Amino acid sequence: MDEEINKTFEAFNTHLVKEQDKREEIRNVVRELEQTGREIMTVLNAIHQGSGIKEVSQICKRSRELFQTVKSKIEQLAALFPADEYYRFHDHWRYCIQRLAFSASLIVYLESERLATREEVAEFLGVTVKKSDGFHIDLEDFLHGLLSLGNELSRLAVNSVTAGDYSRPIRIAAFMGELNSGFRLLNLKNDSLRKRFDGLKYDIKKIEEVVYDISIRGLRPTAQDVKEPSMEETPAQEEK
């Protein structure tokens, strides 16, 4: 009986050690992936600079190139474990993939001013969208990425005004409205995604204020300068 118990625990111990090694391998690849993700973000951050806003297409091109590295890293990652054990190690790359999904959707937005679909983002990362097809992008991770996009765009709205681009905040505002109504369709559980979504309204408020500011100063670029009464609902205007 003694040996039997010992054998059981020895086997379990071996199992643990093996698992530990595998996780270490995964962590290493994820670390490299994170590095690339940071590089992409650095490139994309140039849009906030006064000059950067004018060369958006260049910035997007450069960051798209970096996504080639991401693809190869993810391929490497996917080869480390059987496809049906994705969720066993999910925690290791969850955050990283969220950031990458954010970068990808930001690129799509900058290029065509619309919301990236999950398929597009998956294409960027070189993964699939369906669980059954191997390494995929988890829906919640993708949605996390979109919420980060909302956050980034509220910053971009402010900075584009500083850079003298008065039409962009208005377009961003419209976009955010759509994003928000999309998210309101979801029945979120009380988890991290829900918390992030709750933060979206502050981003929207911020953009509203920007739109308000440029509107009352007659900075709106188009001819449609009709003042909209619903604007008066914006409570905080002491921004400037």
Partner 1 sequence: MADFETKGWNRDGKRDRGPYKRNRKGDRSNHPKQKKDEEGCLENVELTPTLLAFKEYQSELDLKHDKYERLVKVSRDITIESKRIIFLLHRIDGDSDKVLTEAETRLKSLEDTLISKVASELKGEDLHQFIRAFSPGLQEYIEAVSFYLFIKNGRLLSLDEIATRLTFSLKDDIKQVENKEAENADGVTGQPEASDSTEIPDPQDPQDPLVESKCGSDQRTLSLKLPPLEYMLGLADFTGELMRMCINIIGSGDLERPFQLVDFMRNVNRGFQQLGNVAGREMVRKSSVMRQSLKKMEDACYVIKVRGSEIPKHMLKDVAFSSDFSTRDDDYGQEMMD
> Using CB under 8 A as the criterion, which residues of the chain lie in contact with partner 1 when the complex forms?
1-2, 4-6, 8-9, 11-17, 19-20, 84-88, 90, 114-115, 117-118, 131-132, 139-140, 143, 167, 170-171, 173-174, 176-189, 201, 204-205, 208, 211, 220, 222, 224, 226, 228, 230-231, 233-234
Closer CB to partner 1, 51 or 229, in the complex: 229
Q: Residue with structure tokens 């969220």?
A: 98
Closer CB to partner 1, 53 or 173, in the complex: 173
Please state the length of the chain: 240
Least distance to partner 1, CB of residue 184, Å: 7
**Structure-block tokens of residue 119:** 């398929």
Which residue, among 137, 33, 15, has the nearest Cα to 87 in the 3D structure? 137
Closer CB to partner 1, 51 or 224, in the complex: 224
What Rg do the C-alpha atoms of the chain give, in angstroms?
22
Strand, helix or coil for residue 22: helix
3-state helix, strand, coil in the chain (%, to 5): 75, 0, 20
Closer CB to partner 1, 31 or 231, in the complex: 231
Asked if 126 and 75 count as a contact pair (C-beta separation under 8 A), the reply is: yes
Q: Which amino acid is at 29?
A: V
